Structure 1
Amino acid sequence: MRSTGTCVLLTIVTLGFYSLYWYYKTHEEMKQHTGAGLGGGLALVLSIFVGIVMAFVTPNEVGNLYARRGQAKPVSAATGLWALLLGWFFFVGVIVWFVKTNGALNAYWRSLGAQG
Protein backbone atom coordinates (compact mmCIF):
# COMPACT_ATOMS: atom_id res chain seq x y z
CA MET A 1 0.00 0.00 0.00
CA ARG A 2 1.19 3.47 -0.83
CA SER A 3 -0.09 6.71 0.62
CA THR A 4 -1.64 8.76 -2.17
CA GLY A 5 -0.39 12.03 -0.69
CA THR A 6 3.13 10.71 -0.27
CA CYS A 7 3.15 9.42 -3.85
CA VAL A 8 2.04 12.82 -5.18
CA LEU A 9 4.68 14.58 -3.09
CA LEU A 10 7.43 12.20 -4.21
CA THR A 11 6.39 12.63 -7.84
CA ILE A 12 6.66 16.42 -7.51
CA VAL A 13 9.97 16.34 -5.60
CA THR A 14 11.56 13.89 -8.05
CA LEU A 15 10.22 15.78 -11.08
CA GLY A 16 8.11 12.80 -12.12
CA PHE A 17 10.66 10.02 -11.73
CA TYR A 18 8.80 8.51 -8.79
CA SER A 19 5.83 7.90 -11.08
CA LEU A 20 8.00 5.55 -13.15
CA TYR A 21 8.87 3.61 -10.00
CA TRP A 22 5.17 3.58 -9.02
CA TYR A 23 4.16 2.11 -12.38
CA TYR A 24 6.91 -0.50 -12.20
CA LYS A 25 6.24 -1.55 -8.62
CA THR A 26 2.43 -1.62 -8.71
CA HIS A 27 2.30 -3.59 -11.95
CA GLU A 28 4.95 -6.01 -10.72
CA GLU A 29 3.00 -6.58 -7.50
CA MET A 30 -0.27 -7.14 -9.37
CA LYS A 31 1.40 -9.62 -11.73
CA GLN A 32 3.00 -11.52 -8.86
CA HIS A 33 -0.37 -11.63 -7.09
CA THR A 34 -2.49 -12.81 -10.03
CA GLY A 35 -0.04 -14.18 -12.60
CA ALA A 36 -1.70 -11.91 -15.17
CA GLY A 37 -1.08 -8.42 -16.46
CA LEU A 38 1.82 -6.41 -17.77
CA GLY A 39 4.30 -6.85 -14.99
CA GLY A 40 6.77 -4.22 -13.89
CA GLY A 41 9.23 -4.26 -16.77
CA LEU A 42 6.69 -3.81 -19.54
CA ALA A 43 4.77 -1.21 -17.49
CA LEU A 44 7.98 0.76 -17.04
CA VAL A 45 8.82 0.66 -20.75
CA LEU A 46 5.29 1.73 -21.71
CA SER A 47 5.25 4.53 -19.14
CA ILE A 48 8.51 5.92 -20.52
CA PHE A 49 7.71 5.70 -24.23
CA VAL A 50 3.90 5.91 -24.48
CA GLY A 51 2.90 7.11 -21.04
CA ILE A 52 -0.67 8.07 -21.93
CA VAL A 53 -1.64 4.43 -22.43
CA MET A 54 -0.82 3.77 -18.79
CA ALA A 55 -3.69 6.06 -17.77
CA PHE A 56 -5.98 3.40 -19.24
CA VAL A 57 -4.02 0.19 -18.62
CA THR A 58 -3.30 0.74 -14.92
CA PRO A 59 -6.88 1.30 -13.70
CA ASN A 60 -8.02 -1.53 -15.95
CA GLU A 61 -5.59 -3.93 -14.26
CA VAL A 62 -6.59 -2.65 -10.82
CA GLY A 63 -10.26 -3.15 -11.72
CA ASN A 64 -9.47 -6.67 -12.90
CA LEU A 65 -8.17 -7.51 -9.42
CA TYR A 66 -11.69 -6.91 -8.15
CA ALA A 67 -13.37 -8.67 -11.09
CA ARG A 68 -11.37 -11.85 -10.44
CA ARG A 69 -13.00 -11.96 -7.00
CA GLY A 70 -16.46 -11.39 -8.46
CA GLN A 71 -16.65 -7.81 -7.24
CA ALA A 72 -17.59 -4.66 -9.12
CA LYS A 73 -14.65 -2.76 -10.57
CA PRO A 74 -14.14 0.55 -8.75
CA VAL A 75 -11.88 1.71 -11.60
CA SER A 76 -11.51 0.63 -15.22
CA ALA A 77 -9.91 1.72 -18.47
CA ALA A 78 -12.57 4.44 -18.66
CA THR A 79 -11.00 6.01 -15.55
CA GLY A 80 -8.16 7.03 -17.87
CA LEU A 81 -10.47 9.60 -19.41
CA TRP A 82 -9.95 11.75 -16.30
CA ALA A 83 -6.27 12.02 -17.14
CA LEU A 84 -6.83 12.44 -20.86
CA LEU A 85 -9.68 14.94 -20.89
CA LEU A 86 -8.76 17.04 -17.85
CA GLY A 87 -5.14 16.06 -17.42
CA TRP A 88 -3.48 19.25 -18.50
CA PHE A 89 -6.04 21.60 -16.97
CA PHE A 90 -3.95 22.38 -13.89
CA PHE A 91 -3.40 18.63 -13.50
CA VAL A 92 -6.92 18.26 -12.09
CA GLY A 93 -7.62 15.18 -14.19
CA VAL A 94 -4.31 13.53 -13.38
CA ILE A 95 -4.86 14.06 -9.67
CA VAL A 96 -8.42 12.70 -9.82
CA TRP A 97 -7.16 9.71 -11.85
CA PHE A 98 -4.39 8.97 -9.37
CA VAL A 99 -6.57 9.36 -6.28
CA LYS A 100 -9.16 6.97 -7.74
CA THR A 101 -6.64 4.42 -9.06
CA ASN A 102 -4.25 4.36 -6.10
CA GLY A 103 -7.19 4.44 -3.68
CA ALA A 104 -8.78 1.40 -5.34
CA LEU A 105 -5.46 -0.44 -5.32
CA ASN A 106 -4.88 0.36 -1.63
CA ALA A 107 -8.42 -0.76 -0.78
CA TYR A 108 -7.82 -4.05 -2.59
CA TRP A 109 -4.59 -4.76 -0.70
CA ARG A 110 -6.27 -3.72 2.55
CA SER A 111 -9.08 -6.21 1.87
CA LEU A 112 -6.42 -8.92 1.77
CA GLY A 113 -5.07 -7.88 5.15
CA ALA A 114 -2.31 -5.48 4.15
CA GLN A 115 -1.67 -2.67 6.56
CA GLY A 116 -0.13 0.67 5.91
Structure 2
Amino acid sequence: MEEQPVKPMYAPAPPPPAHYAPQQQVVSYGQQPQHPAPQQHMQYGVAPHGRPLGPVGKVRSTWAVLGLSLITFGIYALYYHFATHEEMKQHSGEGVGGAIGLVLYIFTLGLVTPFVLPNEVGNLYARQGRPRPVSATTGLWVLLGWIILVGPLVWLIKTNGALNAYWRSMGAR
Protein backbone atom coordinates (compact mmCIF):
# COMPACT_ATOMS: atom_id res chain seq x y z
CA MET A 1 0.00 0.00 0.00
CA GLU A 2 1.21 3.36 -0.91
CA GLU A 3 1.20 6.25 1.66
CA GLN A 4 -0.37 9.46 0.53
CA PRO A 5 1.09 12.78 1.63
CA VAL A 6 -0.82 14.59 4.37
CA LYS A 7 -2.45 17.77 3.15
CA PRO A 8 -2.51 20.68 5.55
CA MET A 9 -5.95 21.71 6.72
CA TYR A 10 -5.21 25.40 6.33
CA ALA A 11 -3.18 27.13 3.69
CA PRO A 12 -0.40 29.38 5.01
CA ALA A 13 -1.43 33.02 5.31
CA PRO A 14 -0.21 35.28 2.52
CA PRO A 15 2.19 38.06 3.51
CA PRO A 16 0.54 41.37 4.43
CA PRO A 17 0.24 44.02 1.73
CA ALA A 18 2.98 46.65 1.54
CA HIS A 19 0.81 49.38 3.09
CA TYR A 20 0.51 47.32 6.30
CA ALA A 21 4.26 47.14 6.77
CA PRO A 22 5.35 49.21 9.75
CA GLN A 23 7.36 52.30 8.95
CA GLN A 24 10.81 52.10 10.46
CA GLN A 25 12.81 55.18 11.09
CA VAL A 26 16.53 55.03 10.43
CA VAL A 27 18.40 56.70 13.25
CA SER A 28 22.14 57.28 13.24
CA TYR A 29 24.21 56.76 16.35
CA GLY A 30 23.71 59.66 18.77
CA GLN A 31 20.42 60.86 17.26
CA GLN A 32 17.07 60.66 18.99
CA PRO A 33 14.14 59.15 17.07
CA GLN A 34 11.50 61.69 16.09
CA HIS A 35 7.97 61.06 17.33
CA PRO A 36 4.98 62.94 15.99
CA ALA A 37 3.54 65.51 18.38
CA PRO A 38 0.13 64.57 19.85
CA GLN A 39 -2.86 66.34 18.34
CA GLN A 40 -4.49 68.83 20.69
CA HIS A 41 -7.90 70.35 20.10
CA MET A 42 -9.29 73.40 21.80
CA GLN A 43 -12.35 71.58 23.14
CA TYR A 44 -10.34 68.65 24.50
CA GLY A 45 -7.79 68.82 27.27
CA VAL A 46 -4.57 66.86 27.59
CA ALA A 47 -3.44 65.38 30.88
CA PRO A 48 0.11 66.20 32.02
CA HIS A 49 1.30 62.70 31.20
CA GLY A 50 -0.06 62.98 27.65
CA ARG A 51 -3.29 60.99 27.96
CA PRO A 52 -5.98 62.80 25.97
CA LEU A 53 -9.11 63.72 27.85
CA GLY A 54 -12.68 63.97 26.63
CA PRO A 55 -14.70 67.11 25.99
CA VAL A 56 -14.57 69.95 28.48
CA GLY A 57 -17.72 70.59 30.50
CA LYS A 58 -19.82 73.70 30.78
CA VAL A 59 -19.14 76.52 33.25
CA ARG A 60 -22.32 77.20 35.27
CA SER A 61 -22.90 80.23 37.43
CA THR A 62 -23.33 79.20 41.05
CA TRP A 63 -26.02 81.83 41.58
CA ALA A 64 -27.87 80.73 38.44
CA VAL A 65 -27.82 77.12 39.69
CA LEU A 66 -29.20 78.25 43.04
CA GLY A 67 -31.83 80.55 41.52
CA LEU A 68 -33.03 78.11 38.88
CA SER A 69 -33.22 75.32 41.45
CA LEU A 70 -35.43 77.47 43.68
CA ILE A 71 -37.62 78.80 40.85
CA THR A 72 -38.23 75.32 39.39
CA PHE A 73 -38.81 73.75 42.83
CA GLY A 74 -35.74 71.52 42.52
CA ILE A 75 -36.20 70.32 38.94
CA TYR A 76 -33.13 72.25 37.76
CA ALA A 77 -31.15 70.64 40.62
CA LEU A 78 -31.98 67.24 39.09
CA TYR A 79 -30.68 68.44 35.72
CA TYR A 80 -27.60 69.98 37.35
CA HIS A 81 -26.61 66.72 39.04
CA PHE A 82 -27.20 64.72 35.87
CA ALA A 83 -25.28 67.15 33.64
CA THR A 84 -22.27 67.65 35.91
CA HIS A 85 -21.80 63.92 36.55
CA GLU A 86 -22.16 63.16 32.84
CA GLU A 87 -19.67 65.85 31.79
CA MET A 88 -17.09 64.62 34.29
CA LYS A 89 -17.57 61.01 33.12
CA GLN A 90 -17.17 61.96 29.44
CA HIS A 91 -14.14 64.12 30.23
CA SER A 92 -12.18 61.71 32.42
CA GLY A 93 -13.68 58.34 31.54
CA GLU A 94 -14.20 57.72 35.25
CA GLY A 95 -16.94 58.42 37.75
CA VAL A 96 -20.59 57.49 38.16
CA GLY A 97 -21.94 59.29 35.09
CA GLY A 98 -25.16 61.21 34.64
CA ALA A 99 -27.75 58.45 34.94
CA ILE A 100 -26.29 56.88 38.08
CA GLY A 101 -25.66 60.33 39.58
CA LEU A 102 -29.31 61.22 39.02
CA VAL A 103 -30.53 57.90 40.45
CA LEU A 104 -28.35 58.42 43.52
CA TYR A 105 -29.76 61.91 43.96
CA ILE A 106 -33.39 60.78 43.65
CA PHE A 107 -33.34 57.49 45.59
CA THR A 108 -31.20 58.72 48.48
CA LEU A 109 -33.21 61.96 48.72
CA GLY A 110 -30.04 63.95 48.08
CA LEU A 111 -28.10 62.50 51.02
CA VAL A 112 -25.34 60.76 49.03
CA THR A 113 -24.77 63.22 46.19
CA PRO A 114 -23.28 65.98 48.39
CA PHE A 115 -20.42 63.55 49.06
CA VAL A 116 -20.11 61.98 45.59
CA LEU A 117 -20.10 65.16 43.48
CA PRO A 118 -17.26 67.00 45.27
CA ASN A 119 -15.31 63.74 45.46
CA GLU A 120 -15.45 63.40 41.68
CA VAL A 121 -14.52 67.07 41.22
CA GLY A 122 -11.54 66.50 43.51
CA ASN A 123 -10.59 63.43 41.46
CA LEU A 124 -10.42 65.58 38.31
CA TYR A 125 -7.75 67.67 40.00
CA ALA A 126 -5.94 64.66 41.52
CA ARG A 127 -5.60 62.93 38.13
CA GLN A 128 -3.51 65.89 37.02
CA GLY A 129 -1.39 65.91 40.16
CA ARG A 130 -3.04 69.10 41.41
CA PRO A 131 -4.28 69.54 45.00
CA ARG A 132 -7.97 68.79 45.58
CA PRO A 133 -9.96 71.93 46.38
CA VAL A 134 -12.96 69.80 47.40
CA SER A 135 -13.44 66.18 48.46
CA ALA A 136 -16.11 63.89 49.87
CA THR A 137 -15.81 65.62 53.26
CA THR A 138 -17.14 68.79 51.63
CA GLY A 139 -20.53 67.04 51.81
CA LEU A 140 -20.53 67.57 55.56
CA TRP A 141 -21.49 71.20 54.88
CA VAL A 142 -24.87 69.96 53.65
CA LEU A 143 -25.55 67.57 56.52
CA LEU A 144 -24.26 69.73 59.36
CA GLY A 145 -25.52 73.03 58.03
CA TRP A 146 -28.96 71.98 56.81
CA ILE A 147 -30.76 73.45 59.81
CA ILE A 148 -29.66 77.03 59.15
CA LEU A 149 -29.47 76.67 55.33
CA VAL A 150 -25.98 78.16 55.21
CA GLY A 151 -24.32 74.75 54.85
CA PRO A 152 -25.90 73.79 51.51
CA LEU A 153 -25.05 77.24 50.15
CA VAL A 154 -21.40 76.89 51.23
CA TRP A 155 -21.35 73.38 49.68
CA LEU A 156 -22.70 74.69 46.35
CA ILE A 157 -20.28 77.63 46.28
CA LYS A 158 -17.27 75.41 47.04
CA THR A 159 -18.21 72.48 44.77
CA ASN A 160 -19.51 74.40 41.76
CA GLY A 161 -16.70 76.93 42.10
CA ALA A 162 -14.06 74.18 42.04
CA LEU A 163 -15.72 72.51 39.04
CA ASN A 164 -15.94 75.82 37.15
CA ALA A 165 -12.27 76.55 37.92
CA TYR A 166 -11.30 73.12 36.57
CA TRP A 167 -13.29 73.59 33.35
CA ARG A 168 -11.74 77.03 32.86
CA SER A 169 -8.26 75.56 33.34
CA MET A 170 -9.10 73.16 30.52
CA GLY A 171 -10.10 76.00 28.19
CA ALA A 172 -13.83 76.41 28.86
CA ARG A 173 -15.34 79.90 28.96
TM-score tier after normalising by the smaller chain length: over 0.9
C-alpha displacement of 1:4? 0.5
Quote the Cα distance in structure 2 between the aligned partners of 1:87 and 1:76. 19
Give the Cα separation in 2 of the matches to 1:88 and 1:39: 30
Residue 151 of structure 2: which of 68, 85, 93 is its match? Answer: 93
3-state SS in 2 of match to 1:52: coil
Alpha-carbon distance, 1:59 to partner: 0.2
- What is the match of residue 21 of structure 1? 79
Looking at structure 2, the residues matched to 19 and 88 of structure 1 have their Cα atoms a distance apart, in angstroms, of 19
Pair 1:80-2:139 in alignment: yes
> For the residues of structure 2 that align with 1:112 and 1:100, how far apart are their CA atoms?
19
Q: Which runs of 4+ in 1 moved over 6 A?
A: none
Is residue 2:126 matched to residue 1:70?
A: no
Distance (whole Å) between structure 2 residues aligned to residue 83 and residue 34 of structure 1: 26
Higher strand share: 2
Query: What amino acid is the match of 2:138?
Result: T
The Cα shift of 1:88 comes to 2.7
TM-score w.r.t. length of structure 1? 0.97
1:52-103 CA distances to partner (integer Å, 9 max, x unpaired)?
A: 10010000000000000000000000000000101231x1100000000000
Normalising by structure 2, report the TM-score.
Answer: 0.65
- Structure 2, unaligned stretches of length 5 or more? 1-58
Q: Distance in 1 between matches of 2:152 and 2:81?
A: 14
Greater Rg over alpha carbons, structure: 2
TM-align CA RMSD:
0.5
Q: How many percent identity over aligned positions?
A: 61
Q: Which residue of 2 aligns with 1:40?
A: 98
User: What is the letter of the counterpart of residue 57 of structure 1?
Assistant: V
- What 5-or-longer segments of structure 1 have no aligned partner? none
